[in-house]
Structure 1
Amino acid sequence: MTGYPFRTQVCWIAALALAWLAFSSPWSATWNLLLAAFTIALALLAIVMATRRERARQRASQPVLQAVKASLDKLPGDIRRNTPLVLAVGDASGAPERAFGEELVRITDAIWVRVDEPTRLAHVADALKRWREGQGPDAIVYLLGADLVHDTAALEAGLRRWRSAIGEASRAVGYALPVCLAVYVEEANGAPDDCPWFGVSGTDALHAGALPSLIATRVRRYAQAAVPADREARMHRAARLDGLARWAASALLPALVDGQRDGFRQQRPVHLNAFVVTATAGVPAADSLHARFVLRTTGLALAANEGRRVPYPLPEPVIRGIALQPVRRTLPLALAHAFAWLVLAFCAAAAASAWQNRALIARVMDDMARYRAISPEHDAALVDALQAIKRDRNELEQYARTGVPPRLGLGFYRGAPLLAPLNTLIAAYQPPAPPPSTIELDSLSLFRSGSAALNPGSNRVLIGALEMIKAHPDKRVVVAGHTDINGNPGSNLKLSEARAASVRDWLADAAGLPLTHFAIQGYGDTRPKASNDTEAGRAANRRVEITLVPDCRGAYREDRTTSGQSACSFQ
């Protein structure tokens, strides 16, 4: 694999995100579905963008690759990896055209590939890395003809564009591409020998401030080494090269190696490994930026001369100081990235599991604390709290039977120890005793013998019955009177019913309830609870019973056949 598998990586990341939403997410199902749809849409968008970028790379690099293959087919052997591969770029003034002519690729001691547009540089660099099976371009050479540059704004704009393009190309191939700056100056008078390249190259980045003096020292040695016959020509050339180096250091290098901002983004400086200048036969331009710089700094005007332009030589000597790039396989990098995303997903799942377990424990503990805080007198609230801890108990028992779900797993589940205290609380619940349905009152404490009028102070005896009635407003009240066997049975029957009516009237008035809420019944001596043969038995039989019964008026029609008969049938 030579190209980075962006689409496969996007699918892997999307699968991890969907798995986290399905098995570990603490959010609701609605939010999980929305996030899953967003994740799928984002992954599809990334795949579409990667596909479009791949097609753009193929379109941009296809002519270059065809030219490279056509050139290499003429050479014996496989020289892809043991021959330096250099990308030649330059401004719009025409330096690359002067060096390459109509060709896109030139083969010397290196493979020189010409790239004319900054927007295509990253695609070509990536395509050449794939063509070399993981070994990217070894360097980028920026070619510039000093006599061909006349506009400062155009020069700076071109340098900024190429600087940005070099940064994108470095990101595309995965390393900082070494950059070489080669500057040409034209001279009309011929020299006794070809002009060599003056400058420095190496594997380490150069310090721009020291380059002019270093080049000046070397061109001075070049002039001094001449024989008397060509010393004047060499001195003239050395002066021009010294001025060229100083102009290039002030006009070109800051735009490449100084920190600059492109909008809101800070551009990184290029990795400048070589800086060389040379002179070539041609037509010097008196109005070029370089000529104006020389006039401003030295006061010497450059006379316009006629001459014959020759192709610019390629800066082959600088390539010897730059090491070949190693093979960089993308598969190990892609696997490392995939593993890093897997670790990140596991950490996210562990964090979600820990958070949800903490929430589970806190909820169960809060439910248990709320249940313990409720006193037995408040049975309704106690029952509500009991239902909550029963739901907690059932949830924990389900986890114990069927296994802990992934969102609570990963070693963070701590719910099992809570089952025992939950079961203890549930088993300890005791429902409150049912309220008394019947209150029995001694007739002697309410009435005088043979009388149905309540005694003064009898309300203290009736208070208990009144509280029972108020506590159960949904129940109807049956008041039944009983006598002992002494006296006439008919009179005893009437007396028992009258006494029941007196108690009913007092209770209805005290409770603020209508008389229809009550029913009365007189039984006389027909329902003794003890033997009438003894005084104690007869005293127990003289009583008034107050009973609560369900209100069945909605189920039965009121029966008025007997005076004082209730709405329900009472035995």
Structure 2
Amino acid sequence: MRDVYRSLLTALTGVLALWLILSFWPLSTGSRVALSLLVMLVCGVMLWRQRRASQARITAVQEMVDEKLPPEDFQGAVILVCGDNAPLFVSGTCHRETRQGWYLWVKDAEQLPLFAQHLSLVRPALVSQISVMLAVVPEQHTSGDDFTPSLRGWQRAVVQCRAAFGTLPPLWTVTWVSPPTACSDAEPVWFTVAGQRDGIQVYQPGQGNVSLMEWTRGTGSDGRLSRLSQGLWLDSLLAWQNNTVNDLLSVRQGELPGMKPCVQGMCMVPVNGIAGNLWQQHIASVTALPPDAVVTTESLPLPELLLPALPRRRGVSRRMVFWRYAGLLGGIFLALAMLASWMNNQRLIRNVGDHLALYHALTGTPVAPKLRAQQRLRADGALLDDWARRGEPLRYRLGLYQGLRLVPPVEAAISDWAPPPPPPPVIKKIVQGPKTIRLDSMSLFDSGKSELKAGSTKMLVNSLVGIKAKPGWLIVVAGHTDNTGNPKLNQTLSLKRAEAVRDWMRDTGDVPESCFAVQGYGESRPIATNDTPEGRSLNRRVEISLVPQANACQIPGKPSASSQDDAS
């Protein structure tokens, strides 16, 4: 489940990074594409590595079945039992559950960091409740040369747990030794040394903890002599404990820091020992009378009375850890987005300010540079006005938009100057080109004839209303035919038809014959194809044009063309 949250955090980081790159940071298109691809590649590699690490961790701790672990809502202490832990567990079991604690058997020192990592991943809410108990049973060791490296190995493993827990877990030691022979049938006696209490405390069932002095002076079912002998036994045990265990743990060696147990417990209870063990060697060095080795099949009692003295704090669930990291990512994203928004607004202010500065620096002479600067300001004003109506882009938002305060100076600058009006156009006298009127020959003449048909007068009057004789202009009448028939006859027919129209205009308008020029082109100047009836109909035509020509069309009673304007 923790792996899922880690994958979600990685994906969330990628999404926020892409959003920041594509929507906020002022980057070019190429830079955005490159950074987006880089972010996706990094997130993909991280997801792949997380999956590989998860599979490797599952393989490394395949012996740690989750059913052996405490539930997520377990409120007691979670103890990783190291050292001489075999006598504490029934053969074939890896954990023991009590009302106050959950004891987990750790196979060896190499497995402890993996176990810690596994617990931090599958039970993160219990991390603050986890402690490491170093079980010491000197009656199961015969050589100090073997016992010391084993103790160092466990110390190194505890230090390596820092990577999983974020800090060194609380370390406490519990030592079990067989009591004196005279007290072998008595109840187990617990002696404790806690950091917050002075001296050695002795636990008495039903009475709780009392000081060692009160316990020695008191009387009980076990008798005063028995307590005195146990006290002497305790002094020997403390001497061995300090010389063999505490001094070894507290001295720094290389990269291993010195470690002081937060709680120490010593229990006098029959322990299944081996001949010539360390405890016998120690007692023999003090009294010259080694105690007998005890044979028992009972499991050693658990140090339940020491659990209240362990440091504890409230744990954090996987969901809480996820939301904490998600909140942290959101805060970082918001900070970077606000920074990018501020940079974009500063860039906008700088660009518009540069345009205003250039605009005010130009005098307007010449006009073109000032006009271009004004057009840029108009474009800036239109953009700012559009953002004011429709909302500014996301990269300028987050409460940092500065465009509204740029609108007044831009509008004022645009209004304080206008380009000078263009100079009046130079009026030149031009000569109007020929005005051509095109008449359909079939509407005026019968086929193959050159005499005007009856009824054609009205069409001629309507068509030639704009053709008026005036001095200096020549009325050109040109006749055209299609390519049907003999070309020479067609040319003669076109000329005669032009003459017929000329004669009608001359007689009707009382225009001198000198105002006319008659031409017959026959089929030489078609305006459409002669391959279709429609094209041939368009080619059969009479065209009338006004062409300027000096000293042409002398109308009686009017001055000559040389004394008049040409045209306008």
Q: Which residue of 1 aligns with 2:165?
A: 170
Among candidates 172, 182, 192, match of residue 180 of structure 1: 172
Among candidates 114, 126, 139, match of residue 120 of structure 1: 114
Q: Which residue of 2 aligns with 1:31?
A: 31
Q: In 2 relative to 1, CA 285–169 (structure 1 residues): closer, same or farther, beyond 3 Å?
A: farther
- Per-residue deviation, residues 432-458 of structure 1 (Å, max 9, x unmatched): 999xx9xxxxxxxxxxxxxxxxxxxxx
Asked if structure 2 preserves the Cα contact closer than 8 Å seen for 1:223 and 1:231, the reply is: yes
Q: Which residue of 2 aligns with 1:237?
A: 233
Matches within 5 A, 1:372-521: 372-377=360-365, 382=370, 385-386=373-374, 388-400=376-388, 402-426=390-414, 428-430=417-419
Bigger-Rg structure (1/2): 2
DSSP 3-state at the match of 2:183:
coil
DSSP 3-state at the match of 1:314:
coil
Does residue 246 (structure 1) correspond to residue 242 (structure 2)? The answer is: yes
- Per-residue deviation, residues 377-400 of structure 1 (Å, max 9, x unmatched): 566765665565455345435534
- Provide the rounded CA distance (Å) in 2 between the counterparts of 1:247 and 1:195: 24
Shift of 1:198: 1.0
Q: In 2 relative to 1, CA 371–107 (structure 1 residues): closer, same or farther, beyond 3 Å?
A: closer
Among candidates 75, 88, 91, match of residue 99 of structure 1: 88
Among candidates 196, 199, 223, match of residue 189 of structure 2: 196
Matches within 5 A, 1:20-169: 20-59=20-59, 62-65=62-65, 68=68, 84=76, 86-91=78-83, 95-100=84-89, 101-107=91-97, 110-116=101-107, 117-126=111-120, 129=123, 139-146=131-138, 148=141, 149-150=144-145, 152=148, 155-165=151-161, 167-169=162-164
Shift of 1:405: 0.9
Q: Which residue of 2 aligns with 1:341?
A: 329
The one-letter code of the counterpart of 1:196 is V
Asked if structure 1 preserves the Cα contact closer than 8 Å seen for 2:20 and 2:333, the reply is: yes
Asked if structure 2 preserves the Cα contact closer than 8 Å seen for 1:145 and 1:185, the reply is: yes
DSSP 3-state at the match of 2:85:
helix
- Provide the rounded CA distance (Å) in 2 between the counterparts of 1:342 and 1:67: 36
The one-letter code of the counterpart of 2:95 is V
- Per-residue deviation, residues 398-435 of structure 1 (Å, max 9, x unmatched): 5346531111123322224434543554462536999x
Q: In 2 relative to 1, CA 327–230 (structure 1 residues): closer, same or farther, beyond 3 Å?
A: closer
Shift of 1:362: 2.0
Asked if structure 2 preserves the Cα contact closer than 8 Å seen for 1:141 and 1:181, the reply is: yes
Asked if structure 1 preserves the Cα contact closer than 8 Å seen for 2:356 and 2:410, the reply is: yes
TM-score (norm 1): 0.56
DSSP 3-state at the match of 2:400:
coil
Does residue 275 (structure 1) correspond to residue 248 (structure 2)? The answer is: no
Asked if structure 2 preserves the Cα contact closer than 8 Å seen for 1:220 and 1:238, the reply is: no
Q: Which residue of 2 aligns with 1:307?
A: 293
Shift of 1:334: 2.7
- Provide the rounded CA distance (Å) in 1 between the counterparts of 2:247 and 2:229: 27
Q: Which residue of 2 aligns with 1:11?
A: 11
Does residue 360 (structure 1) correspond to residue 348 (structure 2)? The answer is: yes
Shift of 1:275: 1.7
- Provide the rounded CA distance (Å) in 2 between the counterparts of 1:406 and 1:80: 43
- Provide the rounded CA distance (Å) in 1 between the counterparts of 2:335 and 2:238: 61
Shift of 1:283: 4.7
- Alignment RMSD: 4.7
Q: In 2 relative to 1, CA 391–309 (structure 1 residues): closer, same or farther, beyond 3 Å?
A: farther
- Provide the rounded CA distance (Å) in 1 between the counterparts of 2:258 and 2:384: 57
Gaps of 5+ in 1: 73-78, 438-571
Q: In 2 relative to 1, CA 370–383 (structure 1 residues): closer, same or farther, beyond 3 Å?
A: same
Shift of 1:360: 0.9
DSSP 3-state at the match of 1:197:
strand
- Provide the rounded CA distance (Å) in 1 between the counterparts of 2:400 and 2:44: 35
The one-letter code of the counterpart of 1:307 is A
Shift of 1:291: 7.1
The one-letter code of the counterpart of 1:162 is V
Asked if structure 2 preserves the Cα contact closer than 8 Å seen for 1:3 and 1:330, the reply is: no
DSSP 3-state at the match of 2:123:
helix
DSSP 3-state at the match of 1:411:
coil
Shift of 1:114: 0.6
DSSP 3-state at the match of 2:26:
coil
Shift of 1:118: 1.7
Q: In 2 relative to 1, CA 300–378 (structure 1 residues): closer, same or farther, beyond 3 Å?
A: farther
- Provide the rounded CA distance (Å) in 2 between the counterparts of 1:325 and 1:160: 25
The one-letter code of the counterpart of 1:354 is W
The one-letter code of the counterpart of 1:191 is C
Shift of 1:146: 4.4
Determine what percentage of the aligned residue pairs are the same residue.
18
DSSP 3-state at the match of 1:278:
strand
DSSP 3-state at the match of 1:198:
strand
Asked if structure 2 preserves the Cα contact closer than 8 Å seen for 1:188 and 1:307, the reply is: no
Shift of 1:153: 5.4
Q: In 2 relative to 1, CA 66–415 (structure 1 residues): closer, same or farther, beyond 3 Å?
A: closer
- Provide the rounded CA distance (Å) in 1 between the counterparts of 2:300 and 2:350: 79
- Provide the rounded CA distance (Å) in 1 between the counterparts of 2:259 and 2:345: 50
DSSP 3-state at the match of 1:10:
helix
Q: In 2 relative to 1, CA 123–386 (structure 1 residues): closer, same or farther, beyond 3 Å?
A: same
Shift of 1:343: 3.7
Asked if structure 2 preserves the Cα contact closer than 8 Å seen for 1:185 and 1:244, the reply is: no
- Provide the rounded CA distance (Å) in 2 between the counterparts of 1:177 and 1:162: 7
Asked if structure 2 preserves the Cα contact closer than 8 Å seen for 1:286 and 1:303, the reply is: no
- Provide the rounded CA distance (Å) in 2 between the counterparts of 1:285 and 1:371: 102
TM-score (norm 2): 0.57
DSSP 3-state at the match of 1:5:
helix
- Per-residue deviation, residues 39-77 of structure 1 (Å, max 9, x unmatched): 2223223323433444445445553436638xx9xxxxx
- Provide the rounded CA distance (Å) in 2 between the counterparts of 1:36 and 1:145: 60
DSSP 3-state at the match of 2:65:
helix
Count of paired positions: 400
Asked if structure 1 preserves the Cα contact closer than 8 Å seen for 2:129 and 2:315, the reply is: no
Asked if structure 2 preserves the Cα contact closer than 8 Å seen for 1:211 and 1:249, the reply is: no
Q: In 2 relative to 1, CA 302–8 (structure 1 residues): closer, same or farther, beyond 3 Å?
A: farther
- Provide the rounded CA distance (Å) in 2 between the counterparts of 1:13 and 1:156: 41
Asked if structure 2 preserves the Cα contact closer than 8 Å seen for 1:191 and 1:230, the reply is: yes
